Structure 1
Amino acid sequence: MKLRLAVAAVLAVGLSACAPSTSSPSSLPSDGGARSGTLKVWLFDEPNRAPKEAVVKDAVAEFTASHPDTKVEVAYIAVDTRSERFKGAFNDPASAPDVVEYGNTDLPEYAAAGGLADLGPTVSRWAEGADLGAEAKASATYQGTLLGVPWFLGVRALYYRTDIFQELGLKPPASIAELTSTARTIRQKKPDMFGVAVGGKYTYAAMPFVWDAGGDITSLDSAQSRAGLTAYTNLIAPDNCPPQQCADLTGGKTVDLFAGGKAGMGILGNFNRAAVDAGAAKGKYAVVPLPGSKPGSIAPAFAGGNNLGIMRNSQRPALAGDFLTLLAGKKYQTRMYEAMGNLPTLKSASTEVAAKDPFLKPFVATIAAGTKFVPLDPGWGKVDASAVLPTMIEKVATGRATVDQATAEAAKQIDAALGK
């Protein structure tokens, strides 16, 4: 979660409302339901909620001004307990919200539970819905049904220390081979630093290497996946990031290392900018897309992010559709970027913020080059909860298993979880 989000196509996730029908209620949010009364909204809580809450408050004020006799109740729910909250809402329609925010990796679980409404008719009737690209739809679609509107995206790229690169006469790497050699040079010349901070438990740094090689999460025991994993785990080595220090690194810890001035490079997200700026690396870094194996190419990144959806049990589906499209539209996506740094999914909004902020360009380029996602299967939750992927990477990094052994074990576990 915490993305979302070919991406002029993926960045092109949008919606804008035209008046829904007021016919009798059905499972489609564009059809019927009461057009007044109280609309219940669940959004994710944040460590610093105030900026997000201020934007949402303005959206609510705008919405209620144009919808007489309507009230919007917004509840901010804890991310860590969201699954239990959603399960309870699916089973108790009377207490369920109307509009919800959820992580895009939550989609299979919630879709399998039948808790989300089909947004296809709604999106097709809205002007900004025409900007919703195929990849964006895919990340919010389950078994052919669109169950969410991507609200924001998060992708990772390669942060590097401009002062270190200048001192050592280095250039930003344009291929995985150059990334590897550059990392080793930094480690050799600056033994108190890691060349590139990489972790055995940092799944979303490792997967671009696998995807770039032609592999995938559902075929980890293929030659392509093994080649990609080998390229990544070769970086967890004494000449870059020693296993005894890096084998158990998570994504969060690698952010801390780069931000703290302990690494020459790091694979970090657009959403990690504030953390880096709060550390020793502030003012001493730049960002380029994570390169692929072919010189000049961009490795596919995981498209994380959050969606907005409507509960299938909503008693006010048309009203919910009106509010969802307002909050997910260009105006409030732009406001959310300004408040929280969330990368907009609407092409018009992303183009606008990128023009104002050059920092976003490598992330926009990464999305445009094509992104990847986890399997849209309810069994994915079991894979994620069992830490199949980080365990696989860590075993290789520590020498407890060869690449072939670790990938064979992981592939077997994934096949079982996905019912293959």
Structure 2
Amino acid sequence: MDMGAGAGRHSAECRRAPAYQCVGHAINHRLSRPGGRTSARRSRERRTTLRIAKIAAVTAALAIGLAACGGGSEGTKSGGETPKAAKPDKLTVWRFGPPDDKHNAFMAEVGAEFQQKHGVKVEVQFIPWPDTTKKLQAAATSGSGPDVTEIGNTQVVTWAAQDTLVDLTDKIAGWEEGKQIPEALWVNETIEGKKYAVPWLGGVRAVIYRKDWFKELGIEIPKTWDELLAAAKKISSAKKGVSGFEINGGSDSMHAVAPFIWGNNGQIVANEGGKWTGKLGTPEAKEALTWYTNLVLKEKVAPESGVTRNSVDISRLFANGKTAMFVDGAWAKTVLKEANKDLTDDKIGAFPLPTKTGGVAPQFAGGNDLAVWKDSKNQDLAFEYIKLLASKEKAAKYAPIAGLLPFYPDLLAGDTYKNDEWLGPFAQAMPFGRTYAVHSNWVKAEETVMQQLLTSVIKGKSVDEAAAEADKQIDQTLNQ
């Protein structure tokens, strides 16, 4: 992919989406990883040399083109032994994405509370999405970076594998409030039994739709694939130039297609006997892929050009009245309203993506995590800050601002979300959240496999052949 098209699409997408969606895209822009671990006895120069060597090696192995801190610490063990240091003047925290008044106000409030309790000022730096990987890479090689960093949950394995994140296992074990976060939600943060990050806020996707058109045409909320297709057909027929259901064939197509595969009892990838195996060629997965691509090829409720569009491109079409339904996260509402001031709450709604026969389809449960950077001289203090920022009280307050969901079950099941017409459907889908392969190479597969599969089918290749090629690509990527 060329620099202009790829970088532009990535930048637009990542200005409005959460970390778990965008860190992977940034890595594929400048895919390189932080470097290797050294013992306490080795010199700082030796450590830097090893890290640079690993960055070069990983970059060569994983780069797939362009698509959408304190000074040197010594080795730590399970978050127990931390570098001894006097109380610092400040704690440095890295956040990803552009700040706005609401985000700034919340972070300032947390920082003031932390300073009052610990006597240490918190400095929050917001880093633009396209610069995140470059910034983290520089921190890894120089030994100068943040104390606390935000990180996408699917990227924890990538950075932990390069020994840039502190093993927080013991600290998390002693964090009482954190025990309320279900163990199933720590999958991406746990590598070989050790926890390297704390789940902060999460998100799933749902179908975003034009409420006013559904009302106008007497369409009920779809509960099955057949009902979803019938609704799309009715809208396409009644409104000239409007696609009933827009397919996503772009850089984040995996997130849009996975719920259909999972909602048909299919799989995308599985670890069998220590070997990763693609499962897109199984009957359940192929049936879902056939249904999805037939929205274009057979049913004609989505245009063929959709195979080149990601969720950002599609949201623009939705804002301009060119599509009636598409799959995206709760964060999309703000973007849609900014693009079209006439899209009031009585015109935009959301409902859980259904399974084939009825019920809520499983969704990719992405998340924004918080981690302690390995070179921080203030690791204990950094974790105290994480405990505050990821507390139940702060999660309840910040989740609506961020357009995400808390990981605390009682908050998720409470009236705040149950009675919210917009956030309710996303909260309803959250318990059905799933993840992909917890593998440092998954970001490479995630961004390319589904795009290539959908494109080849739309251009005439059979689903059987395209799925077989996709499985082969998954196998090679994850087992190399």
Give the TM-score normalised by structure 2: 0.76
How far 1:355 moved relative to its partner? Answer: 5.1
Tell me if structure 2 keeps the 8 A contact 1:4–1:152.
Answer: no
In structure 1, runs of 5+ residues without a counterpart are 6-23
The corresponding residue for 2:444 is 382
The corresponding residue for 2:37 is none
| Structure 2 residue corresponding to 1:359, chosen from 393, 414, 422 | 422
**Equivalences for 1:147-296 in 2 at 5 Å?**
147-201=196-250, 202-218=253-269, 219-237=279-297, 239-278=299-338, 279=340, 280-282=342-344, 283-295=346-358
1:91 aligns with 2:162: no
Q: CA RMSD in A?
A: 2.4
Q: 2:421 and 2:217 mapped to 1: Cα distance?
A: 25
In structure 2, runs of 5+ residues without a counterpart are 1-16, 22-73, 270-278
| Structure 2 residue corresponding to 1:304, chosen from 355, 366, 369 | 366
Report the AA paired with residue 380 of structure 1: W
Q: Secondary structure at the match of 2:326?
A: strand
Q: Secondary structure at the match of 1:73?
A: strand
How far 1:242 moved relative to its partner? Answer: 4.1
The corresponding residue for 1:343 is 405
Deviation digits for residues 278-329 of structure 1, max 9, x if unmatched? 324433132211100122x111111122100112332222111101110111
Q: Secondary structure at the match of 1:314?
A: coil
1:316 aligns with 2:378: yes
How far 1:107 moved relative to its partner? Answer: 1.7
The corresponding residue for 1:17 is none
Q: 1:130 and 1:309 mapped to 2: Cα distance?
A: 17
Tell me if structure 2 keeps the 8 A contact 1:123–1:129.
Answer: yes
Q: Secondary structure at the match of 1:305?
A: strand
Q: Secondary structure at the match of 2:265?
A: coil
| Structure 2 residue corresponding to 1:103, chosen from 149, 152, 168 | 152
Residues 40, 356 of structure 1: alpha-carbon distance in 2 compared, 3 angstrom cutoff? farther
Deviation digits for residues 175-198 of structure 1, max 9, x if unmatched? 112111221122122232111122
Q: Secondary structure at the match of 2:440?
A: coil
Residues 31, 66 of structure 1: alpha-carbon distance in 2 compared, 3 angstrom cutoff? farther
1:37 aligns with 2:99: no
Q: 1:242 and 1:343 mapped to 2: Cα distance?
A: 30
Residues 388, 61 of structure 1: alpha-carbon distance in 2 compared, 3 angstrom cutoff? same
Q: 2:356 and 2:136 mapped to 1: Cα distance?
A: 41
| Structure 2 residue corresponding to 1:81, chosen from 126, 131, 134 | 131
Give the TM-score normalised by structure 1: 0.87
The corresponding residue for 1:21 is none
Question: What is the percentage of aligned positions where both structures have the same residue?
Answer: 29
Residues 319, 48 of structure 1: alpha-carbon distance in 2 compared, 3 angstrom cutoff? closer
Q: Greater relative contact order (Cα 8 A, min sep 6): structure 1 or 2?
A: 1
Report the AA paired with residue 178 of structure 1: E
Report the AA paired with residue 86 of structure 1: L
Report the AA paired with residue 294 of structure 1: T
The corresponding residue for 2:455 is 394
1:65 aligns with 2:116: yes
Residue correspondences, number: 396
Residues 331, 35 of structure 1: alpha-carbon distance in 2 compared, 3 angstrom cutoff? farther
**Equivalences for 1:110-129 in 2 at 5 Å?**
110-129=159-178
Report the AA paired with residue 287 of structure 2: A
Q: Secondary structure at the match of 1:114?
A: coil
Tell me if structure 2 keeps the 8 A contact 1:3–1:154.
Answer: no
Report the AA paired with residue 409 of structure 2: K
Greater mean alpha carbon deviation, residues 328-337 or residues 100-109: 328-337
The corresponding residue for 1:134 is 183
The corresponding residue for 1:325 is 387
Deviation digits for residues 364-411 of structure 1, max 9, x if unmatched? 11012x1122211111133245x2221111221232x21111111111
Tell me if structure 2 keeps the 8 A contact 1:108–1:380.
Answer: no
Tell me if structure 2 keeps the 8 A contact 1:3–1:343.
Answer: no
Q: 2:446 and 2:354 mapped to 1: Cα distance?
A: 26
